[in-house]
Amino acid sequence: MLQVIGLTSARHRGLPAAVDDLTFEARPGRVTALLGAPGSGKTTALRLMLELDSGWGVTCFRGRPLHRIPHPAREVGVLLGDAPGHPARTARGQLRMLCAAAGVPASRADELLEAVGLAGLRDQRIGTLPLGMDRLLALASALLGDPHTLILDDPAEGLSPREECWLRGLLQAHAAQGGTVLYTTTDPKEAARTADHVVTIDGGRLVADQSIRDFSRTRLRPRVAVRTPHAARLAAVVSREARAARRSVEVVTEAGSLLSVYGSTCAEIGDAAFRHGLPVHRLADEVGDAGPAEPADAADPAVGQGEGQAEPRPQARAAGSELSPPTRRRPLRGPLHPLRYELRRLLGVRTTALIVGAVLVASVGLSVLLARSGHAQLPKVLAAWPSLLPLPPAAVGAGLLGAFSFGDEFRYPALAAGRGSVPRRLGLLLAKLVVSAGVALVLALAVVLASAEALHLVYGNEIKVPSNSVYLGVSWAGLTVGCAWAGLLAAGVFGATTAGIAAVLAVPVLVVPIVQGLLAGQASRSAVGLPGRLRGLVWPRWPQETDRWVAAVVRVVAHPVGAALSLSLSVLICAYLFTSLRGRVRW
C-alpha cells in the first residue's frame, strides 16, 4: 500500500505551496489515477513522494519511507519525464547498464524490451527512437527491478491510441497481480477507462477521493456526439422538440460540424434528423467531462461526502510541526554492481572508441614525424610527445575519457532521474577510478606498441629496450593514469565534462611552472636510500627486487610533472570528499 499523509511542498519567495496537505492512499490490487489540470501539482506531489524535492509530510511504501528501503528499484518503479540516458546509447545498452544499477540479471533487459514492444529496436540509439518509443523505454526502465509499486507521471504522453490501450492493459495486469499503481493524468475520460480509483487535486490540494463508480457518476456526463453539415439546423430542431416534450436537453455546438447533446440518446437524435431530412455523418454515445468537482469544505467534513467527495482529513499542518515531519532530499544510492555498471557505461557509447582511435592515429603520426629528425629521444618518440605540446595525445585522451566518466552522469542522469545529480558513493567512485585507470594503462601500452610498430614499418629500425625501462614505464603509466583521474575528479566536483578537461590541461600549463619554481633552489638533503628504509619499516618484508619499483615511483613523484600531478590529484580528492560530506549534511 502507498500511503501519503500531509504532503506539503516547500514555499519559495512567498509563493503558495505547489502541494498543500495532500493525503490519500493507493491500495494494492488496483490502479489509482492522480487527476488534475496542468499545473495542479501532480508532478510535484510525485517528486515529494520520491524524496526528490524538499517539503513536509510522510510517504510510506508498504509501511516504509523510500530512504529506508534497501533496494528501492525493486520496490518502486518510477517514470518521470523521458528515458534518461545518453542519446548515442542503444536501448538494449541502456537497460543493461541500469540492470547493473538495480542488481538484476542482464537478461532482464531483453525480457522487458520484448514486453514493451521494443525488441525490434533494441540496437537503435536512444536519440533516434521514434516518437513515443522513448516513453516505452522509460516504462521498461521503471519495470526493470520487478517493483511492487509503480509511480508513473503521465505515462500515455506521446503514445498512439493502440499503445495507450496496451498500456492500460499493462497497468491493470500489474494491479491484478497484487501490485500498486499510481499514475497522473489530465484526462478524466482516460482515468475512467483505466483506473479503479481516482484522486483529484487542484492547486495542490485534495478535491476528491473517489471510487471509479462515484467518479463516473459525479464527474462524467453521457452525451451524444453528432456530426452533420447542418449542425445549426439540427441543434435548433433538437432544442425545440425537447422544449415541446418538456425534457432537459442541452445542445453544445463544438468546432466545425460537431454537436454534443446532453440528456438525449442516439435513437432520439437520429429520429429527429430523419423527420426533418437532415443528413447525419456520425452518431455515437460518448462520455464528456463535467468539469472539476468542488472541494469539500475543510470546516465541515460532511460536505460533499454524499457525492463521493473527499473524506474527512486532518487540517493543514504548519511547516515544521511535529505532526508533519520534513521530507528532505536524501543522499542517492549508487548502483548495486558499480564496476559492472561503469564498464557498461563506458563501452555502451561510440565516444570511447572514437577517442581511442583518434589518440592512436595522432600518436603514430607524431612518432613518425619525431623519429624522422633523429634528434628526439626514444621515450619521447614512443610516447609521441613533442616538446611543443603540453601533454602527449595519450594523456589527453585518458583525461578526456576520465572527464566523460562523471560528466556524462550529470548531463544524462541515468542513476537519479529528475534530480540532475549522481550518487556520491565510495563504491561508485572506486569503480570509476579503477575503470579509468585500466583504460588509461591500455591506451598507454597501445600507443607505445603502435608507435614502435610504425617506426619499424616506416624506417626499419629495431627498438631496443632502454636500461631505465622500469622508471620510464612507471612514469608513462603514472602520467596517463594521473590525467585520467584528474579529469574524472574535476568533472565529479564541478559536475561538467569541461571542468575535467580544464583540470587536465591545467597541470602542465599552470601547476608544473609553480612546482618548478618551488623546486628551483638547490636541495640540501637527498632521499637516496628511501626504498631500503621503507623496507625496514613494513611487515612482512618485501623482496629486494621491489626496491627498483619503489625507487622508480619516488623518481616519478620527484619529477616536476609528477609532483604537479600528485598535487593536483590531492587537491581534487579533498574537494570531492568535501563536496560529498557537505551534500550529506545539507540533506
> What cell numbers appear for 511 in the block?
601547476
337 Cβ contact list (under 8 Å, min separation 6): 100, 101, 103
pLDDT at residue 465, as a whole number: 75
Q: What is the DSSP letter of 296?
A: P
**Residues 318, 226: contact at Cβ < 8 Å?**
no
pLDDT at position 297 is 40
3-class state of residue 109 by DSSP: helix
Please classify residue 585 by burial: count the beta carbons closer than 10 Å to its beta carbon, then call 0-12 exposed, 13-18 middle and 19+ buried: exposed
CATH 1.10.3720.10 fits 2-210, yes or no: no
Confidence of residue 420 (pLDDT cuts 50, 70, 90): low
Those residues with Cβ within 8 angstroms of residue 290's Cβ, 6 or more apart along the chain or in another chain: 218, 219, 220, 221
Residues facing 182 on adjacent strands: 32, 151
Tell me the pLDDT band of 29, cut-offs 50, 70 and 90.
very high
Query: C-alpha distances in angstroms, 94 versus 142, 158, 333, 347, 394?
Result: 12, 21, 18, 11, 28
**DSSP string covering 54-84, please?**
-EEEEEEETTB-GGG-S-HHHHEEEE-SS--
Pull the grid cell for residue 140. Answer: 521498461
pLDDT band at 111 (very low <50, low <70, confident <90, very high): very high
What confidence tens digit (pLDDT) does each residue in 308-333 have? Answer: 444 444 444 444 444 456 767 676 77
Q: Is the pLDDT at 188 greater than 80, yes or no?
A: yes
pLDDT digits (tens, 9 = 90+) for 338-380: 999 999 999 999 999 999 999 999 999 999 999 887 777 888 8
**CA-based nearest residue to 220, from 152, 145, 165, 290:** 290
What integer pLDDT is reported at residue 291 of this predicted model?
61
**pLDDT value of position 311:** 43
Kindly state the average pLDDT of the residues 376-404.
Answer: 91
How many angstroms separate the CA atoms of 111 and 85, rounded? 19
- Give which of 427, 423, 339, 415 is closest to 98, Cα–Cα: 415
What's the pLDDT score for residue 296? 42
Burial readout 395-428 (b: 16 or more C-beta within 10 A, e: otherwise) = bbbbbbbbbbbbbbbbebbbbbbbbeebbbbebb
SS3 308: coil
The verdict on pTM exceeding 0.85 is no
| 562: confidence class by pLDDT, cuts 50, 70, 90 | confident
Q: What is the DSSP string of 116-164?
A: TT-GGGTTSBGGGPPTTHHHHHHHHHHTTT--SEEEESSTTTT--HHHH
Q: Does residue 549 surpass a pLDDT of 90?
A: no
pLDDT at 543: 61
What is the per-residue pLDDT across 475-496, written as a single tens digit (0 to 9) for each? 899 899 999 999 999 999 998 9
Domain limits, CATH 3.40.50.300, in the chain: 2-210
pLDDT of residue 528: 57
**What pLDDT, on a 0 to 100 scale, did the predictor assign at position 514?**
82
pLDDT over 80 (residue 94) = yes
Averaged pLDDT, 221-234: 89
Distance CA 393, CA 362 (A): 7
Phi-psi bin for 256: left (phi > 0), alpha (psi -120 to 50), beta? left
**Would you say residue 456 has pLDDT above 90?**
no
HSE-up (13 A, CA, CB side) for residue 374: 2
pLDDT at 295 over 60: no
pLDDT recorded at residue 319: 40
The per-residue pLDDT for 223 is 84
